[in-house]
Amino acid sequence: MEPLVVVLSVTVLLLAGGMIATLMIVLRRTSAAPGASVPKPSAEQVQAVHEELEQARQEARQIRQKAETDAEEILRRSESTAENAAQLRREVEEESRILKSELKELRADLERREARLAEREQRLDEEARRQAERDRKLAETEIELADRRTELLQVEDQRRVILERVSGLTADQAKNELVKEIENQAKREAALIVREIEGDARKEGEKRATKIVTLAVQRVAAEQTAESVVSVLHLPGDEMKGRIIGREGRNIRAFESTTGVNLIIDDTPEAVLLSCFDPVRRETARLTLEKLVLDGRIHPQRIEEAHDRSRQEVQDLCARAGEDALVELGITDMHPELTLLLGQLRYRTSYGQNVLKHLIESAHIAGIMAAELKMDQTLMKRCALLHDIGKALTHEVEGSHALIGAEIARRYGEQEDVVHAIEAHHNEVEVRTVEAVLTQAADAISGSRPGARRESLEAYVKRLERLEEIAQSYDGVEKVFAMQAGREIRVMVKPDAIDDIQAQVIARDVAKQVEEELTYPGQIRITVVRESRATEFAR
């Protein structure tokens, strides 16, 4: 209320001042010089005075209204300030209550923790007392054991003296005779055991080897991808062919010179062909042309830019494929350059079989066989995974891929066992280690299993027919069956015309002729069957 009183006081003072000022003006106008007579004011002067008074009253009323408005605003602000102060006071009281509650909870939690600590200290004291009691009992037990040991030694000495007196032999003499007898008996038993083991090994060796190979093949089922030397790129329309060719063929010439891939544009609707013996280069060219077609701007500079980006993408894809292969096989410590070369084999094929898939499958097979033989699985997987690494550089370096791969592995710090397995997996170097033998076996299993490598139906049928013709050409052969997709030839001979020795000769001759005349992956088994039958009739 104090601001309102102040405003009203100011308003009253202003009104009084205005009236006084008005009266002074009137007196000044009506006053005359000293000694002069006071004239009577005219009606116009009185009217002017009244107008000035009315104007002064209006100004006073405006000032009063403004003062009342200001007073109400000040009163409203003071009330809002009072409400804020009350709200702030309530918030402070609420915060104080919350803090008191939290402080109470913290104090209770602290008391609980102190109680738990005291209880834990009490348990520790009890455990220390029990441990001291156990130590004391253990010490007493050790003393008792030492006393008993001394007593047993004394009894043993007495028994030894009695035995020596009864047998007429000293302890050393009796021990030597017993050792000789046991040694002779052990030698006889060892000789019998060795004979039995050798017999069992000869009986079970082939069975176990077959089991190991069979398990390895059964547990590995890798997909195979058949690829050709031509890639097809589909176009959104035939008008794109003209843009690819360019004015006077400049675009197609620039594309072929930049990528090193032949671009074939024929009458095939909405498609062009990319031909190259290098699959990595062909894939790079395919990605380049795909980018150019999507962009629509085809000219020599854009071709070079798109080719650079595509080459980097293919390199990244190769690196990722190599890393994925290592992760799948559980191999971690391999040189990055070997990993990149391994990934490049993703775009290479051998007889239609993807080389990277072949290496992964061979590594799995080798690891399974190593586990069966109690060998180092990681080392065997490494040998099998890298045995065809040289195929990544056969188009750049002259020589056998086995020797090239061995040199690359040796350059990047691979173990000598791994290097030897690589260079010896095609018998170009004499095999010296078990790892090299298992690498050859894994390579042969992966490459020769049915469906692993692509072969045209016509060539397949011709090979089967030729196999049967070769076996049928020998005298005494009755029937010939090509079995297991051409992996085995079953030859049935006449028992009265062919004896057992001649059957062996026929098997060896057929195998030799097949090796000289036919080309095939893996190996072919020739089995000659001679069956003797005796027939009688009961009447």
DSSP readout, 510-524? HHHHHHHH---SS--
What three-state secondary structure class fits 151?
helix
CA angle centred on 266, ends 262 and 268, rounded to 5°: 120
Residue 412's CB is within 10 A of a number of other CB atoms, namely 16
Rounded distance between C-alpha atoms, residue 446 and residue 360, angstroms:
10
CB 39 within 8 A of CB 8: no
One digit per residue, the tens of pLDDT, for the chain of length 539 reads 455 445 455 555 555 555 555 555 555 555 444 444 445 567 787 788 788 888 878 888 888 888 888 888 888 888 888 888 888 888 888 988 999 999 999 999 999 999 999 999 999 999 999 999 999 999 999 999 998 888 888 888 888 778 777 766 676 777 777 787 787 677 767 777 877 787 777 777 666 666 665 555 555 544 444 444 567 778 887 778 888 888 888 888 888 888 888 888 877 777 888 877 677 788 888 888 888 888 888 888 888 888 888 888 888 888 888 888 888 888 878 888 888 888 888 877 776 678 888 888 889 888 888 888 888 888 899 998 888 888 887 667 777 788 888 899 999 888 899 999 998 888 888 888 888 888 888 888 877 665 555 544 556 677 888 888 898 898 889 888 887 667 788 898 988 888 888 888 888 889 888 888 887 766 788 889 887 766 677 76
Residue 280: which region, alpha, beta or left (left: phi > 0; alpha: psi -120 to 50)? alpha
CB 409 within 8 A of CB 337: no
What three-state secondary structure class fits 475?
coil
Residue 7: which region, alpha, beta or left (left: phi > 0; alpha: psi -120 to 50)? alpha
| Residues contacting residue 483 through CB under 8 Å, at least 6 positions apart | 489, 490
CA angle centred on 506, ends 504 and 507, rounded to 5°: 65
Rounded distance between C-alpha atoms, residue 402 and residue 397, angstroms:
12
Residue 270's closest CA among 232, 306, 302, 322?
232
Burial category of 347 from C-beta neighbours within 10 Å (exposed 0-12, middle 13-18, buried 19 and up): buried
Four-CA torsion 404, 409, 411, 416, nearest 10 degrees? -110
Rounded distance between C-alpha atoms, residue 59 and residue 66, angstroms:
10
Residue 86: which region, alpha, beta or left (left: phi > 0; alpha: psi -120 to 50)? alpha
